[in-house]
Each structure stands twice: as structure tokens, then as C-alpha cells.
Amino acid sequence: MKPLLSVVIPNYNGSETIGRCLEAVYASDFTGFEVVVVDDCSGDASVEIIRRFPCKLFRLEKHSGAARARNTGAANSGGGILFFTDADCVPKKDTLKIAFETAQEKGPDVVVGGTYTRNPCDDSFFSAFQSVFINHFETKNAGNPDYIATHAMAIHAGTFNESGGFREDFLPIIEDVEFSHRLKRKGLRLVINPGLLVGHVFNYSLTASLRNAYRKAHYWTVYSVKNKDLFADSGTASLELKANTVSYFASIFSVILGLFFKTPAFLYLPLLLFFCNLFVNRKLLLAFLKTGGIFFALSCTAYYTLLYPAAVGAGGMAGFIKALLKKGGV
């Protein structure tokens, strides 16, 4: 029988997580689905692990990126609705059911998205910070989000085919943002269902977390400058994060001016900016508190305000310079 839902999973060197991902998918309480995994020329044991499960497996001849892998998976799917997730995601038992029912209810002119669970699938502090951060900002504007992320995206197969799929000549990441913007320009609606959840295996250390912040800010800025929406409130590239980053660098600049001119007024400004920033980001800080308690919230607040914006700002500045120097489009 033709499946109702096709789960499309790109994989590249995901041997540490793909088994856990597929186990969770096949433990779903939904029936009538197929799983299509596209391996992007992995050099690890991924393929051997994938072959232990009753899924369709397609292998790209050369490493081509997640966009091509997802397009290949969609082209070889039989379900009326496609559900995209990643090899390092762990869907909950009801994830596929919620994805299918929400997509069916909303119809072919609506793309449905989900997000990460607040608690990640590993026990690192930095993973927990990232999972709450993404969950909060991706669900903040659930009725009218700026984009749908491919870690939990449900779309009618006909709609996806008509769209042309993900751009394979795009940046290494955020192809789902470009895809979402393109569909919105065509008149389609985007909706987030906060109950559509997948766990995520980050395994973040301090260095990995800051590296991720830098990389995301870099490519997001390259795209945003070209798209002329640098100051948009766009999911994890939120106005709150941008205010946090501006506050951080303005405070540093103010301290330098205060020390140079020996003017105490400049030294008071960082304190004012800090409390204004806490107010702007109060809902995120409350999400930290609700998820992990007071100690976790205080630790996240310190990291978010004192270290994280340094990586975001550095990545954003590098991306801005790259966008200005880049002659072609993205």
C-alpha cells in the first residue's frame, strides 16, 4: 500500500546518531509511513547501521550537501506528505502522527513545522542551553513564523514538487530558511505546531557551542544582507538575540571610552544596557528557569549575555564583510 507519510532523513557521517534516530522513528505510534534515508557519501559506518532498518536507502556518488540529499529523498518517496528530519534528531512517539494530522488539517497550501524538545538528548550544559534557545525562538511566533526548519518539517508532496525543492547551489546551511521564504513569496503559509517535537543530539562543549554560534551568524548574515532582512525577527535569528549582541559590543565600547576619557558616565552605561537586555530577553530567561531551575537559568543567562554574543557578533561581522565583497548571489 502507498504510505501516508514519507520520513526523509539526510545522513552524512552520522554513525553516532543515525541508529538512535531510526530506532525512534520505528517506535512511532503512527502507522502507514515509510522511511527514506539518503547517505551523502559518508566515510564512517553510517551505511552499515542504516541497513539494519527496513528503510529505503539511497547513496549519493559524491558529497553534495543536505539540500541535494533531501531532494533525492523526496524524489524517491511515495507518501502524500513528506516529513523532513535530521540524522541527529530523535522523534518522539507521537511526532509522526502529529506531523501527518496537522499537515492534513492545514492542507497543501500550508507548510507545518515543529521544533526541538527543551531537553536535548545528551546531558551537556551547552546542549541544554541550545535546545531551550531554539525551542523558545522557533515557537515564539508559531502562527506566523519566518521559516520552518528541516529538523521537523511536514509538507504535502505535491506542494514540495511544485516548489522545486531545496536549492542545491545555496550556502552550506540555512537552505530551509531560503526555501521557506521562497514558498511565502508564492503565497503559501507557514505554521509551527509547538507540540510537534524532536529531540536533538548536540554533544556540545563550550568550543562547539561558540563555533556553532559563529557559523550560523556568519551564513545567516550573508543571506540576510542579500535578502535585505538583516533586522528581521527570524526565528533563532531573533530581535532578542540581535539586541543581546548589540548590547554586548556597545558595553565593551562604552567601557573603552570610559577608560580612555576617564569619564565615569561611560562606565555606568554597560550596567544600564545589561538590565535593558535582560528585560528584552525576559521570556527566554524564563524558559531557562522553567526548564532547569534557578541555577541552570543563572548559568544560561551568564553564558548568553557574556560569551555567546561574542561569537554571534564575530560571525555576523565576518558574514557582513563577505556579503559586501561577494559579487554573485547566494
Express each pLDDT in 114-158 by its tens digit. 999 999 999 999 999 999 999 999 999 999 999 999 999 999 999
Q: Could you tell me the pLDDT band of residue 330, with boundaries at 50, 70 and 90?
A: confident
Q: What is the mean pLDDT of the chain?
A: 96
User: What is residue 264's predicted lDDT score, i.e. its pLDDT?
Assistant: 81
Q: End of a domain among 204, 219, 244?
A: 204
Q: What is the mean pLDDT of residues 22-28?
A: 98
118 in Cβ contact with 135 (< 8 Å): yes
Q: End of a domain among 161, 177, 204?
A: 204
pLDDT for 82 beyond 80: yes
Q: End of a domain among 159, 189, 204?
A: 204
135 in Cβ contact with 117 (< 8 Å): yes
Cell numbers at residue 14, please? 552520522
Domain containing residue 35: CATH number? 3.90.550.10
Q: Structural domain of residue 271, as residue ranges?
A: 205-330
Residues 49 and 114 in one domain: yes
pTM of the model: 0.95
For 200, phi and psi rounded to 5 degrees? -135, 140
Residues 144 and 108 in one domain: yes
**For the chain, what percent of residues have pLDDT higher than 90?**
94
Q: Could you tell me the pLDDT band of residue 328, with boundaries at 50, 70 and 90?
A: low
Q: Give the total number of structural domains in the chain.
A: 2
Residues 14 and 139 in one domain: yes
Residues 121 and 270 in one domain: no
Residues 220 and 305 in one domain: yes
The beta strand positions in the chain, using DSSP E, are 5-11, 33-39, 56-59, 81-84, 89-91, 110-116, 153-156, 189-200
Closest CA to 305 of 237, 251, 246, 244: 244
pLDDT for 262 beyond 90: no
pLDDT for 329 beyond 70: no
pLDDT in tens, 192-227: 999 999 999 999 999 999 999 999 999 999 999 999
User: What is residue 259's predicted lDDT score, i.e. its pLDDT?
Assistant: 86
Residues 36 and 100 in one domain: yes
Residues 57 and 109 in one domain: yes
202: helix, coil or strand? coil
Residues 137 and 87 in one domain: yes
Residues 260 and 167 in one domain: no
User: What is residue 294's predicted lDDT score, i.e. its pLDDT?
Assistant: 98
Residues 45 and 169 in one domain: yes
- DSSP code string of 98-142: HHHHHHHHH-TTEEEEEEE-SS-SS--HHHHHHHHHHHHHHHTTT
261 compared with 151, residue with greater pLDDT = 151
For 317, phi and psi rounded to 5 degrees? -65, -40
pLDDT for 109 beyond 70: yes
Residues 27 and 145 in one domain: yes
For 186, phi and psi rounded to 5 degrees? -85, 0
Residues 38 and 158 in one domain: yes
